[in-house]
Amino acid sequence: MTQSWTLVTGASGFVGSRLVRALVERGEHVKALVRPGSSLRHLADLPSERCKLAFGDITVEHTVFRALASCDRLYHVASNFKMWDPDPDTILRPAIEGTRATLEAARRRGIQKIVVTSSVAAMGSTRAAEEMDETHEFNLQDPEAYVLSKYEAERVALEAADEGQPIVVVRPSAIYGPGDWKPTPTGQSLVDYLKTPPSLSIPVTDGGISVVDVDDVVEGHIGAMDKGAIGETYVLGGENITYHQLIDTLADITGLALPGRVLSEGMIGLVGSLMELKASWFGGDPKLTRKLARDYACAYVWVTSEKAERELGYQHRPARQTLARAVRWYLERGYVPEKAARRVRLELRTT
């Protein structure tokens, strides 16, 4: 009998590489779709009899079609996790056209089930400290490129499901944890924090996020494949905390900078505009932009995963544990200069 395989797109990325590893560890045969030239550091030690590399581009349908040979399941995880670019198409095209091309290749192959990775970004935000669920309507006008890319890519996936493809959509919240080698924008903010001397304080705004561990998100993906209802979306959230609580928790874990004064919405908007302008002139990725400040400063992206818990058996760990795992991983792998790393409390290394 021919061996069936599972294809994972974006397999060299943060979530994708952790998902490939988890699938292999549970005994599945996995094809890892990566772009030529991608870093393979987190796939290199996997057994070749259970994990094969497939090289391709999600925006080029025939390369995905070729990779899907002998596969009956597909996890479409790939996206350009970048919040801003002077050319927004570099973020929008891989997400939207990549999803469309990948799903068309899957349709032609007759793939039995597909899990598409979206984001809680596709749900917008709220001004009140309240939880959003899968029914929350996207409510942001002219959002930042990454946010728009997740919303539009999810629409492509759900339209394909309406047309009969066996698709389940998952929406992770803000993901932290080990294995974020690039790192992602969320991970980079943590690395930046670890470089901050304890004598300083971190300005904060009102509002908050839902902190989720990458390995909980991975288990949520697997649950969606095994148990998810076709055409449904599932929020894969974590612990909802305020921005002040986020910095306070990091300070307690590391002994580093405490939360400082609360910035007004107008002030944080000005900071975002200046960072975006600097990036436009000199290059690089701004830590904040005008649109991100407008939509998320003094706003909440708090979610409930009750549906995923009920239907998929999804669970998530506390934010403190997730953040400690991420901090330890960055420190152990040299993402923080030695002088700054020495400022972090030593007991963290054995937490």
Show Cβ contacts of residue 130 under 8 Å, excluding neighbours closer than 6 positions. 300, 302
**Residue 17 belongs to domain with CATH number:** 3.40.50.720
CA–CA separation, 90 vs 325, rounded Å? Answer: 31
If one counts the domains in the chain, the total is: 1
Q: What is the pLDDT of residue 82?
A: 79
Please say whether the beta carbons of 82 and 146 come within 8 A: yes
Q: What is the pLDDT of residue 86?
A: 82
Q: What is the pLDDT of residue 349?
A: 46
Give the Cβ contact number of residue 10 at 10 Å: 27
Element (H, E) at 172: strand 167-172
Tokens 């239907």 correspond to 311
- Confirm whether 288 is domain-assigned: no
Q: What is the pLDDT of residue 283?
A: 77
- Confirm whether 34 is domain-assigned: yes
Angle of helix 214-227 relative to helix 14-25, nearest 10 degrees, comes to 60
Q: How does pLDDT run across 219-234, given as a tens digit for each residue?
A: 999 999 999 999 999 9
**Burial class of 142 by CB neighbour count within 10 A (0 to 12, 13 to 18, 19+):** exposed
Spell out, as residue ranges, where the chain has pLDDT lower than 70: 1, 346-351
- Confirm whether 337 is domain-assigned: no
- Confirm whether 18 is domain-assigned: yes
Angle of helix 243-254 relative to helix 319-332, nearest 10 degrees, comes to 50
Please say whether the beta carbons of 275 and 81 come within 8 A: no
The β-bridge relationship of strands 5-9 and 30-34 is: parallel
Q: What is the pLDDT of residue 351?
A: 42
Q: Which domain holds residue 67?
A: 5-176+212-239+301-317
DSSP per-residue codes, 123-143: G--BSSS-EE-TTPPP--SS-
- Confirm whether 260 is domain-assigned: no
DSSP per-residue codes, 74-85: EEE------S--
- Confirm whether 250 is domain-assigned: no
Beta strands (DSSP E) in 15-100 are: 30-34, 51-55, 71-76
- Confirm whether 189 is domain-assigned: no
- Confirm whether 59 is domain-assigned: yes
Give the Cβ contact number of residue 189 at 10 Å: 15
